[in-house]
Structure 1
Amino acid sequence: MKAILLAGAVVFSGQAAAQDRAPRVLTEHEQRVHDIYRDIIAFRTARGHQQIDDMVAYLVARLSEAGFADEDIMVTDYDSDGEPTQGLIVRYRGNGSSGEKPIALLAHMDVVDALPEDWERDPFTLTEEDGYFFGRGTMDNKYGVANLTGTFIRLKREGWTPTRDLYLVFSGDEETGMISTRAQAKWVAENVDPAFVLNSDAGGTALDADFNPLVMQVQAAEKTFATFELTVTNPGGHSSRPRSDNAIYELSEALLKIANHRFAVQATPLTRSYFAALGQTVSGEMGDAMRAFAANPEDAAAIAVLQANPETVGTLGTTCIATMLRAGHAENALPQSATATVNCRIFPGIGVEKTQAELAQVMGNDNVTFKLATDVTESPVSALRDDVRAAVAKSLAARYGRAVPILPYMESGGTDGMHYRTLGYDTVAISGGASRPQDMYAHGLNERANVDGFYAGLDHWSIVLKELAGN
């Protein structure tokens, strides 16, 4: 049986769920967050579609209806590299009884675009099928937006008053220029000056193949995001008179050298402690490699295993990968230029200049010119505070009925958190999400979130906030 509802509604499909699962009876809070999740996934908040303002208006309406005053909701407009976007900041007023500074809570409203013709299901209609929610943003990061928004509404309707102010800070272009993120971080520093910052866009519970919890990962650091445009130019000519030099071939040779290059392995205390702890919960060759690397970061066999796995290769050092190509101007003309976009995730402390110099040396071709196509933010490692650790531990115990190891780690990707770290604020990501490695499809086709994990994580932020800002 398959029912397709109007845009913005959830689609239920497949026989497995109906046959193998009893119908889920949702609490008021679960239904509310589900509906917010469904509705915001329907907004195509990718660059070029200009639907961030629609999503902001929707969230403002939900929060206003729950009792948040107009003066506590701030919508900000930004120009993000020539395209308008918005940010949303919401204050949950505390009574000040703790005497402690506020807490800022981060999420981003934009997504990487998804082409409906490439997906098995409409990426902008939430689809529940075979135990998963499918749709663009189901993990990155509309789950964070829905969970935090729903939590604020839940706590407000409960009549709860925090002992210090809490701020939702939702950005509009985290996946592209981060213009809104930078501006919001500056505003938060100047007007809020929080005690610390909690991010919903990373971290979360790592599950094994049978959906059992392994560890709670807490993002305490992230790599530097830098994108280069590598270009080769050529006089060109008629395609019937080939030259011995060709811009496309020359650039291709340079890119193959980058593809075969491995940057130096970095064995920081954070990396080694991460693999030592995670290796105790991971079985087989991967777990053996994690423990071996933690004990001896020069173990070549362990490094080979870890570098062959997309989930762990970025933890070992800098990575640079070609992501886009453009070349030529006519099918019957020799290319006058060829350009490749190469995205680098640079290990903390290495820096952009050193990375560019290494790429140039690897290619060994002075005809390849470099252009840094992004603003670069290098951020320090954040401390995991004892009170945050204790709050997360309480949430995990309530969720799983037992203690789950809490493990700080370095993110291979980049999030809004880097801009708060550079301003001196300890910023850790503690998503309420839970996922197996094989279910991570963020930025890719058929992005999904486990249904059971979705609902099981909906008490997470309530517990954490009541521990950190309650009596």
Structure 2
Amino acid sequence: MTKAFTALALAATLLASGGAAHAADRAPPTADQQVALDIYRDIIAIRTARGQAKTPEMVAYLVSRLKQAGFADADIMVSDYDSAGERVQGLIVRYAAAKPDGRKPIVLLAHMDVVDALEQDWVLPPFTLTEKDGYFFGRGTTDNKYGVTNLTQTFIRLKKEGWKPTRDLYLVFSGDEETGMISTRAQADYVASKIDPAYVLNSDAGGITLASDNRPLAMAVQAAEKTFATFEMTVTNPGGHSSRPRSDNAIYELSDALQKIAAYRFPVQATPLTRSFLGALGQITPGEVGAAMRAFSANPADEAAIAVLRANPETVGTLGTTCVATMLKAGHAENALPQSATATVNCRIFPGVGAAATEATLRKVVANDAVQFKLLTDVTESPESAVPTEVMAALRKTIDARYPGLPIQPYMESGGTDGMHYRARGYQTVAISGAASRPEDMYAHGLNERLSVDAFDGGLDHWYRLLKELAR
């Protein structure tokens, strides 16, 4: 689930304006570019959304391409999982070290599934790769079939070149990241028990943020994720005839509870990671928001800065836990008093806080024992990751080949990816996608998802350069 680097996106919006860039007419693709484009086109055509049971088809396709490139059966592992009654598959591919130097392996993550898309809602067909106006359109063009394509074509390219790494490299592609993460959890367990890598690199977040005029702003490195937890809040009542209102009404009680949650602000939290991130971003963000970022970085207790950052949807998630109502269900007939009222409240919990503590806070805020709480999610809580020194050095060389001197900035993701499960198992896990995008081009999970053609082409050497640095 590729997540927008929202605060940098905000800076890009503030720094520049203008229409979408159109890719210039391109020269005929190289052989490596053509391989990547073929994979991209073919896997986007496979509707790997919940309910379609298509991940086995995509796995079979990828396995075929990898075998054609020279990967042996012994280096390919396909696993089946039951995800909410649907068969999904995961794929693990080993690029074996030719002359092992004693260093631990590197695991590389991507997910093969997508959020579903309905053709009648899209301007262009979602499961057909379409090039138009300098963009590739289609479901998964960014989230995360670009990551799958980029990593797969890199393995194929390196294998065909006869490159011999000095440590094992593993592709680990999950099949239900967007939903139950059953394959993700099982793969994380396998990685921990059988591979035990030095660290884990994720293609499903981070990346290069561009201003609206396509100027590069920074290379974002996702080093932490907030905990995803969804609660159901329910009030029940005997009900009755609507002509005979009673003093206790399930809808009113639930509404009162939701109003209290809406008014509540969780405590401000700051870590070296979030302070460094806001301080660096504040240097390139003009106006009141930029000043607030710099002030908060210097003093996380600055109330004026906190007020500005909390008022902005792009920065509020960086300051601490947030909980928001997302769904409602109440009553059973227009002429009857409600016998129950239920609200869904989604929380993005700051690392280290935990779902139990968050629920306890919500109960205290609501202050009504009639409101029943139920945790709906199988919560995974994960700590911040330190960016390994050798990864930062390799990334520096990789980015300099594309955008010399571009700042590299670790950050905390407000959303969630497969990476949380590897952090929770003790592995330093950072997301460093090769994609580059402008804030106005972020359509993951939405209509008309897209990636610029320039970004597609420009990122094809990203993992190629990185892996050559990390396993030479």
Q: Same fold, TM exceeding 0.5?
A: yes
CA shift, 1:171, in A, is 0.7
Deviates more, 1:269-278 or 1:34-43: 34-43
Q: 2:197 aligns with which of 194, 205, 210?
A: 194
Sort the Cα spacing of 1:75 and 1:281 in 2 relative to 1 into closer, same or farther, 3 A.
same
1:391 and 1:280 mapped to 2: Cα distance? 25
SS of the residue aligned with 1:216? strand
SS of the residue aligned with 2:238? coil
1:385 and 1:206 mapped to 2: Cα distance? 22
- Alignment partner, residue 464 of structure 1: 466
| CA deviation string 1:135-171 (max 9, x = no partner) | 2222221111111111111111111111111100011
CA shift, 1:331, in A, is 4.9
Counterpart amino acid of residue 415 in structure 1:
T
- Alignment partner, residue 447 of structure 1: 449
The TM-score with structure 2 as length reference comes to 0.91
* Residues 214 and 405, structure 1, Cα contact 8 Å, conserved in 2: yes
SS of the residue aligned with 1:390? helix
2:57 and 2:23 mapped to 1: Cα distance? 38
Q: Which has the higher contact order (CA 8 A, sep 6+)?
A: 2
Q: In the alignment, is residue 203 of structure 1 matched against residue 206 of structure 2?
A: yes
- Alignment partner, residue 415 of structure 1: 417
Q: Which runs of 5+ in 1 are unaligned?
A: 1-15
Aligned-pair Cα RMSD in Å: 2.1
- Alignment partner, residue 46 of structure 1: 49
Q: In the alignment, is residue 65 of structure 1 matched against residue 77 of structure 2?
A: no
Q: Using the aligned pairs only, state the percent identity.
A: 72
Counterpart amino acid of residue 77 in structure 2:
M
Q: 1:141 aligns with which of 139, 144, 167?
A: 144
- Alignment partner, residue 302 of structure 1: 305
Q: In the alignment, is residue 158 of structure 1 matched against residue 161 of structure 2?
A: yes
1:17 and 1:377 mapped to 2: Cα distance? 38
Q: In the alignment, is residue 76 of structure 1 matched against residue 82 of structure 2?
A: no
SS of the residue aligned with 1:399? coil
CA shift, 1:379, in A, is 1.2
2:22 and 2:90 mapped to 1: Cα distance? 43
SS of the residue aligned with 1:98? coil
Q: In the alignment, is residue 178 of structure 1 matched against residue 181 of structure 2?
A: yes
Sort the Cα spacing of 1:125 and 1:254 in 2 relative to 1 into closer, same or farther, 3 A.
farther
1:182 and 1:252 mapped to 2: Cα distance? 36
* Residues 100 and 167, structure 2, Cα contact 8 Å, conserved in 1: yes
Counterpart amino acid of residue 142 in structure 1:
K
Counterpart amino acid of residue 170 in structure 2:
Y
Deviates more, 1:361-370 or 1:74-83: 361-370
The TM-score with structure 1 as length reference comes to 0.91
Sort the Cα spacing of 1:250 and 1:131 in 2 relative to 1 into closer, same or farther, 3 A.
farther
Deviates more, 1:233-242 or 1:443-452: 233-242
- Alignment partner, residue 212 of structure 1: 215
1:62 and 1:451 mapped to 2: Cα distance? 23
2:239 and 2:128 mapped to 1: Cα distance? 47
Deviates more, 1:318-327 or 1:159-168: 318-327
* Residues 441 and 448, structure 1, Cα contact 8 Å, conserved in 2: yes
* Residues 215 and 278, structure 1, Cα contact 8 Å, conserved in 2: no
Sort the Cα spacing of 1:328 and 1:45 in 2 relative to 1 into closer, same or farther, 3 A.
farther
1:403 and 1:65 mapped to 2: Cα distance? 38
* Residues 22 and 135, structure 2, Cα contact 8 Å, conserved in 1: no
Q: 1:119 aligns with which of 108, 119, 122?
A: 122
Q: In the alignment, is residue 322 of structure 1 matched against residue 325 of structure 2?
A: yes
2:159 and 2:212 mapped to 1: Cα distance? 37
2:258 and 2:126 mapped to 1: Cα distance? 32
Q: In the alignment, is residue 363 of structure 1 matched against residue 366 of structure 2?
A: yes
| CA deviation string 1:207-260 (max 9, x = no partner) | 222111111111111111111111122223345555444433432332233233
2:306 and 2:459 mapped to 1: Cα distance? 34
* Residues 235 and 342, structure 2, Cα contact 8 Å, conserved in 1: yes
SS of the residue aligned with 2:278? helix
Counterpart amino acid of residue 325 in structure 2:
A
Sort the Cα spacing of 1:65 and 1:237 in 2 relative to 1 into closer, same or farther, 3 A.
farther
- Alignment partner, residue 36 of structure 1: 39
| CA deviation string 1:284-333 (max 9, x = no partner) | 33322211211122223322332233332211111112223333344554
Counterpart amino acid of residue 407 in structure 1:
Q
CA shift, 1:31, in A, is 2.0
Sort the Cα spacing of 1:450 and 1:164 in 2 relative to 1 into closer, same or farther, 3 A.
same
- Alignment partner, residue 404 of structure 1: 406
CA shift, 1:443, in A, is 2.1
Q: 2:91 aligns with which of 88, 92, 112?
A: 88
1:43 and 1:20 mapped to 2: Cα distance? 26
2:383 and 2:302 mapped to 1: Cα distance? 27
Sort the Cα spacing of 1:393 and 1:262 in 2 relative to 1 into closer, same or farther, 3 A.
same
* Residues 21 and 213, structure 2, Cα contact 8 Å, conserved in 1: no
- Alignment partner, residue 394 of structure 1: 397
Sort the Cα spacing of 1:153 and 1:253 in 2 relative to 1 into closer, same or farther, 3 A.
same
Aligned residues: 454
Counterpart amino acid of residue 463 in structure 1:
R
Counterpart amino acid of residue 392 in structure 1:
L
Sort the Cα spacing of 1:322 and 1:446 in 2 relative to 1 into closer, same or farther, 3 A.
farther
Sort the Cα spacing of 1:64 and 1:276 in 2 relative to 1 into closer, same or farther, 3 A.
same
2:256 and 2:418 mapped to 1: Cα distance? 35
Sort the Cα spacing of 1:101 and 1:376 in 2 relative to 1 into closer, same or farther, 3 A.
same
- Alignment partner, residue 4 of structure 1: none
